Structure 1
């Protein structure tokens, strides 16, 4: 959906929301709340996300929850609503009064599936946070739900930015080490900018992105979608876009592909899929898709 804001104003607001979300300064909350009032779905979405990121840094929870709650109940765009719901979740017990409204959203047949799922998950999390606050349990393991000591919490946050008990921490650590070793061994194809990728198709995409001045992260580690861990082929941080190259045609690969595509859809992520038949017209394919997400091709 096209923003009703002037292009220059829209770009400035988007960049400001991204900037405020990166630095974790609680004093940025007031400015982010004002950005929530902008008539742009993208600006609202990024501002809501940034407000959620401020939760661990001491942002005023009452102010944050009051600003997010209306968008969590209803928003012009479903992704904005989803991001507001997820941001509310970050405020834990402070957002417990929103549980009933979130349950209503989760039961609303008119809402997108990924919005309903986000609302149901957030309501459950806030319910647990309220119970933990009453029992003075500050953190729980995300795998087994055991209560954590402060030492376990600090250790897991430092390593994974997640909460794991010591037993689950060791299991996750070993699983990730094995998986990362397998992936790194498969990176044998070098793109023009020196990035090692796993196939000629991925090299074509990396070269195209570099040639167009688009910053990307290749095989970014363990981005979380719902309860699943994924490694997108390419993540474009400035556009908040994911690119996956589906280069194989085996039954097992296709099952994995469909599952991953479903996760992206459920989470409302901006995904561009590239298949081998797209490679001969890669410039047209990526330019057309990225235009939908705010990419402006350089003048020739």
Structure 2
């Protein structure tokens, strides 16, 4: 049980949060952020409420949202979470980054009904604020800098996660379609499971995954970060892991490779990179890498040595010549 001094301090902190919110004391904004970390649930609850009241009074909205999100998501007291959820709603479009958290709260059966209801209401309000902001904003084409209508903006964002006017949209669409066609034409090598790939190195990886009963998707589109969409060589859905085979050695290809690797790192994605020099020890490499990510595979030391000699020689010839192939476009980090 708290002693009288503790109760007195708690009352002081709670009363202070109420005054800041009621009087609109924006100069005490930092004080409210500190109160969110108080050991008193009541002080945290009232601080969250006050932050909601200050939402449009010139305070640092991004800082407020960043401080409120962990409270809404994981504060041990349900009513404190509720007040943080309501405060996030008050910040409207600025709270866009926490939409996924609010959706999770709204769908969480362990949350009290009032928290689920308020989270759903906050999601609806924030989405509407974002829609209005998008309609009112002036968007310009990333290619020609012409003004873009709200409809064209929504269309290009949905298709490319970038902003294009109607004319440039058509040009980009054709370029993308030509690239997609070229990629499909370059898929001429069939792995044992029927997957058609672009190189002997990719075939080796596909067959290794099949031999170890690991499900994979080949050359599928995945959005890694909001601005970019990339095509990983292999995605392992059960492990949420990506495998890229970097088979070329041209300057343009290397630039795309470094950009793609940076995107994986920025988003915290689990990536295994394979290079032509790794193929003679592919089994050891993939086994070791996947073990690091928690997937247990029995390492067969004989498997590298017991590969059919003819197949090994074919792979070596293919990978040596592959960097000279000019018809295969490099993997694009943005839309590639």
TM normalised by structure 2 equals 0.46
Counterpart secondary structure, 1:220 = coil
Instruction: Indicate the SS of the match to 2:244.
Output: strand
Q: For the residues of structure 1 that align with 2:170 and 2:264, how far apart are their CA atoms?
A: 28
Aligned position for 2:235: 235
Equivalent residue number for residue 133 of structure 1: 132
Query: How far 1:141 sits from its partner (Å)?
Result: 8.3
The residue aligned with 1:246 is 246
Q: Map of 1:79-98 to 2, 5 A cutoff?
A: 96=93, 98=95
Alignment of 1:153-232 (within 5 A): 153=154, 157=158, 166-221=166-221, 223-232=223-232
Alpha-carbon distance change, 68 to 279 in structure 1, aligned in 2, over 3 angstroms: farther
What is the CA deviation profile of residues 179-237 of structure 1, one whole-angstrom value per residue up to 9, with x for unaligned ones? 00111111111101111111111000000111111111111136444523321111112
Larger radius of gyration: 2
Residues of 2 paired with 1:264 and 1:251: CA distance? 20
Question: Of 143, 147, 150, which residue of structure 2 is paired with 1:148?
Answer: 150
Judged with a 3 Å threshold, the aligned counterparts in structure 2 of structure 1 residues 237 and 205 are, in CA distance, closer, same or farther, namely: same
Mark the CA change 1:228 to 1:160 in structure 2 (over 3 Å): closer, same or farther. closer
- CA shift in 2, pair 1:140/1:206, >3 Å: farther
Q: Aligned to 1:149, what secondary structure does the other structure show?
A: helix
Identify which of structures 1 and 2 has the higher relative contact order when contacts are C-alpha pairs closer than 8 Å and 6+ apart. 2
Equivalent residue, structure 2, for 1:269? 269
Contact 1:132 1:138 in 2 (8 A): no
After superposition, the Cα gap between the structure-2 partners of 1:170 and 1:252, relative to the gap in structure 1 and judged at 3 Å, is: closer
SS of the aligned residue for 2:150 comes to coil
8 Å Cα contact 1:233/1:245 also seen in 2: yes
* Separation in structure 2 between the aligned mates of residue 208 and residue 286 of structure 1, nearest angstrom: 9
Residue 129 of structure 1: how far off its partner (Å)? 8.2
Find the counterpart in structure 1 of residue 123 from structure 2. none
Give the equivalent residue in structure 1 for 2:255. 255
Distance 2:215 2:289 in 1: 16
CA contact (8 A) 2:161 2:228 kept: no
Q: Deviations over 1:247-271 (max 9, x none)?
A: 1223332222222212211222211
CA distance in 1, matches of 2:279, 2:68: 42
Which ranges of 4 or more aligned residues in structure 1 deviate by more than 4 Å?
65-68, 71-74, 91-95, 97-101, 127-132, 134-145, 152-157, 159-165
Equivalent position of 2:285 in the other structure = 285
**For the Cα contact (< 8 Å) 1:212–1:298, is it kept in 2?**
no
RMSD across aligned C-alpha pairs, in angstroms?
Answer: 4.6
Give unpaired runs (5+ residues) of structure 2. 1-64, 75-87, 99-125, 301-336
SS at match of 2:185: helix
- Tell me by how many angstroms 1:173 deviates: 2.0
- Aligned with 1:213: secondary structure? coil
Aligned partners of 1:178, 1:200: CA distance in 2, in Å?
Answer: 24
**Match in the other structure for 1:62:** none
Structure 1 window deviating more from structure 2 (275-284 vs 223-232): it is 223-232
Q: Distance in 2 between matches of 1:95 and 1:219?
A: 38
* Rounded Cα–Cα distance in structure 1 between residues aligned with 2:180 and 2:97: 41
